[in-house]
Every structure is written in structure tokens, then in C-alpha cells.
Amino acid sequence: MKVLKFGGTSVGSAASIQNVKNIVLDQASTKILVLSAMSGVTNKLVEICESIKGNSFEEIQTILEDLRRKHFQLIEELISDTSVQEIARGYVEDQIGEIKKLSHQPWSVQIESRILTTGESLLTYIFSEFLKAENISNVLLDAKDFMHVHNLENPDTAYIGKLISEKLDDSANDQIYITQGFVRLNERNEVATLKRGGSDFTATILGAAVNASEIQIWTDISGLHNNDPRYVENTHPVAQLSFEEAAELAYFGAKILHPQTISPVIGKDIPVYLKNTFTPESTGTCISSGVEKKGLKAISAKDDITAIKIKSNRMLMAHGFLKKIFEVFDIYETAIDMITTSEIAISLTIDDTRNLNEIVSELQTYGEISVDHAHSIICVVGEGLIEEKGSTKIFEILNEIPVRMISYGGSSNNISLLVDTRHKVQTLQKLHEKLFTEQVLISA
């Protein structure tokens, strides 16, 4: 059994969905398809949630009309059978009506989650009806029946596997199952989400749950590139990454992967392929337990980083000082990304600032606190990177770019730099030049 996930741009139009159909039919074996909402739909649903908070009901009505028109047009372009069109339009109307009903209730996280996950429900229903109209047998599954993810950090894939196995037909050959990405039930059995981009996470959770032979994540990019192609010229897809390398890159900003995507499959040793829906013949990237070669693989950047510095003479030779600092962050459930220490100061970074004021207030007990916003972590990744002689070229950029922090040696496959976000693009370009372009010229 394979798990295939298709993102918003992959199902963003009738032509794109035809591509998805061809990709699915080209592959033998039973498949679970995990689909996102059409591109742009979740953003519209976010706007509805914001309008509910502001009691802007006219705005909600306008957005709902846009969503109705968008999905009606998709139905008309995909499905030729008018009776099936009518059934599909009826489903869209029901979902629009449900959103309208929810919008008149007081805002809550639960209301928001139910609205935000509607896009996936709409798309999977239309896609299923489209395949049936094309005489392609399929089964539409409701993710809320089995995606019981009570702990986002550690999903119980065995339990999810038990729940979904009750929905799968063991006797079926080459069956196609369709379900929604992004949605889950939380520990209170309430509808919740896996956060933005979470359909990737859905795919790997399900892949681990059913012990899939492989997982394919289809987007509009041909694999994970060795740098961010939005800012750097002459990047190229990385053919192979280890689970550890991919996890580092995803956590530190690689846009093609949800940060938690890889974690469910590491222990299962299930390969994950990153492919392009629009050029399916492209090799893409394979993420697996194997290490094809050691050394530099890719660079990624994570924005919206806040740097905190704690300066105190009491640190000098003081036993237990670091423990007290870490306990403050533990109390407020705030993860630390990078940390450096000296005899009288600690510098660290966080990306979750929801409890920043409370954290700073408590830290002031221990010393002088300074806080700097709008920073980026630039992460250079490769198996055994710190053992490679060429990696020292990273530090040559210190002559041109003010680097706030460096993390070196905490992991054998990751060197991280903290820079002001104003210098992010320049840093990515300079690192690419030093580590890829110049190295290729030297090799030649």
C-alpha cells in the first residue's frame, strides 16, 4: 500500500486534478490519497474566522459566495454528467450552509477548526465524485473517523492504524481510498487541525499507521532544493536525503516540508518521495534511512526568530544557573532553537513568542535581559558535515555579514547561523556561492 499526498496547487484547478488522476492511475497497488484544499481556499476560510471575531457578516457572505463560485466552476469543468454535477453542487451548498451557521455562533477555537477544515472536505468529495464519473472505483474516507491525534509531538500511529484498518477492504486489489489532510480529532474528540501545511504530516502519520511501502508528497516543486530558489539562482533538487537531514531542513524552514513530516516514519523505515505534480517524470527527492553520501546537502532558513540574551555576573562559576533559566522556558512550554553561552551571558532563540512577556519578566530575576526580534536561522545541513574540510568556508562570510550566533558541534550534520532577517537573502546567496559554486569550480 502506498500513501500519496497532493497539495493545494496540485488540486488547484480542473487541469491539475486531471494530472493527479493520471499520476494515481499510473501506479499499481492499493493507494490512500491525502488531499489538501484547493489553493487559496484555506486562506479564505481564515478570513471568515477573522470576520467572525469582528462580527463582519457581510464580509463572510461575500467570501462564501466566492467559495461557492470556485467549487461550482471546478465541478462544471471536471464532471460532464449533469446529474452528478447536481449532487456535487448540493454537497457544496450543505458545507457552505454549515459555515454560515457556525459563523453566527460565538467565536471559539473549536468553531475555527471546523471552518478551517471545510476546504479539504469539499475537495475530497468533488474529487471522489469526479473519479466515479470517470468509472474509477474509489472509497471516500472521513479523516475524523481515524485521525485521532491527541499529541501533535508524538501521534499514536498504532491506534490510528487500528482505526483506519476497520475502514479498509483487505480483499480489494488496486483500490483507491481518498481522505482529507490537515484535519484531526484532539484529546477531547473535538475537530482540530495539524496546523498549516499539515497535510504532509497526515500522509506520514497514515503511512506509518498502515505500514505503507512508500509515501509520496506531490507539490509544484521537483523535490527539495539545495537552497531556496526564491532567493538564490542555480539551485537544484537534492536526489537523496537521510531522515535526519530532512528533519533538520524541515524544522529550519524548508518550505516543501511540514516541520514534523518525517518524525512518524523514521522508526518504520518507510521512504518518502518529494515529487512535482506538473513534471511527474522528474526524479525529485527520496528521503530514507540510507545515506548515499556524506557531506553538504542543502541550506534552509527559518524566519520570525526572537533572540534573548541573559547577562549576569552570578553565572560565573554558579552551579545550577542554566537549569533555572531552562525551567522558565519549560514552564511556558516554549522550545529553544539555538543557544550559546559565555562566562557571564547566555544567548538563545525562540520562534514562539506567545508567552514572551511572561518569560522575560521571570528571567529578569536572574540578570539583565535584552530581546531582539526579526531574526532568521540559516541552517546548513549534511550527514557528517562538521567533519568535512569544505564546511569551514561557512565562516568566511563573517567578513561580510554580521552573524549574531553560531551553533557548531551540537549535531554532526547541522551548522546554524543566526542573522538579522535583513541579511537573510545575502547570507543564503553568499553561502551558496561559498559552499556550492566555488566547491564545484574547485572540483572541476
CA 33 to chain centre: 17
pLDDT of residue 12: 94
Question: In this structure, are residues 382 and 245 in contact, taking their beta carbons and an 8 Å threshold?
Answer: yes
User: Mean of the pLDDT values across residues 20-39?
Assistant: 95
Which pLDDT band holds residue 443 (cuts at 50, 70, 90)?
Answer: very low
pLDDT of residue 165: 93
Residue 394 has what DSSP assignment? Answer: G
pLDDT at 442 over 50: no
User: Mean of the pLDDT values across residues 337-362?
Assistant: 92
**Mean pLDDT estimate for the chain:** 91
User: Mean of the pLDDT values across residues 139-165?
Assistant: 95
422: phi then psi, degrees, rounded to nearest 5: -60, -25
Give the residue with greater pLDDT, 372 vs 283: 372
Q: What is the DSSP track for 141-153?
A: --GGGT-B-S-TT
pLDDT of residue 126: 98
User: Mean of the pLDDT values across residues 140-158?
Assistant: 95
Question: In this structure, are residues 284 and 275 in contact, taking their beta carbons and an 8 Å threshold?
Answer: yes
pLDDT per residue as tens digits for the range 108-144: 999 999 999 999 999 999 999 999 999 999 999 999 9
Give residue limits of the domains in the chain: 2-220, 298-443
pLDDT per residue as tens digits for the range 379-417: 999 988 877 777 788 888 888 999 999 988 777 788 999
What are the b/e assignments for 14-28, b being 16+ CB within 10 Å? eebbebbbebbeeee
pLDDT of residue 439: 58
Cell numbers that stand for 397 in this block: 562570510
Distance CA 131, CA 428 (A): 44
pLDDT of residue 317: 57
Q: Against a cut of 0.85, is the pTM above it? A: yes
pLDDT of residue 195: 86
- Which of 53-62, 357-366, 384-393, 409-418 is the least confident region? 384-393
pLDDT at 370 over 50: yes
Which pLDDT band holds residue 145 (cuts at 50, 70, 90)?
Answer: very high
pLDDT at 16 over 50: yes
User: Mean of the pLDDT values across residues 135-162?
Assistant: 95
User: Mean of the pLDDT values across residues 52-61?
Assistant: 90
How far the first Cα of the chain sits from its last, in Å, is 44
Distance CA 79, CA 83 (A): 10
pLDDT per residue as tens digits for the range 171-230: 677 799 999 999 999 999 999 999 877 999 999 999 999 999 999 999 998 899 999 988
DSSP-H helix ranges across 179-282? 199-209, 243-251, 263-266
Q: Classify domain 2-220 by CATH number.
A: 3.40.1160.10
List, in order, residues 6 or more apart from 116 with CB less than 8 Å away. 42, 45, 46, 49, 182, 193
User: Mean of the pLDDT values across residues 305-328?
Assistant: 84
Query: Superfamily for 298-443?
Result: VC0802-like (3.30.2130.10)
**Pick from 369, 414, 1: nearest CA to 175:** 1
pLDDT at 269 over 70: yes
pLDDT of residue 310: 94
List, in order, residues 6 or more apart from 421 with CB less than 8 Å away. 303, 305, 374, 375, 376
Q: What percent of the chain has pLDDT over 70?
A: 96
Q: What percent of the chain has pLDDT over 90?
A: 73
Q: What is the DSSP track for 28-93?
A: -S-EEEEE-PPTTHHHHHHHHHHHHHTT-HHHHHHHHHHHHHHHHHHHHHH---HHHHHHHHHHHH
pLDDT of residue 315: 64
User: Mean of the pLDDT values across residues 146-150?
Assistant: 96
CA distances from 18 to 131, 140, 284 (A): 10, 18, 20
pLDDT at 93 over 90: yes
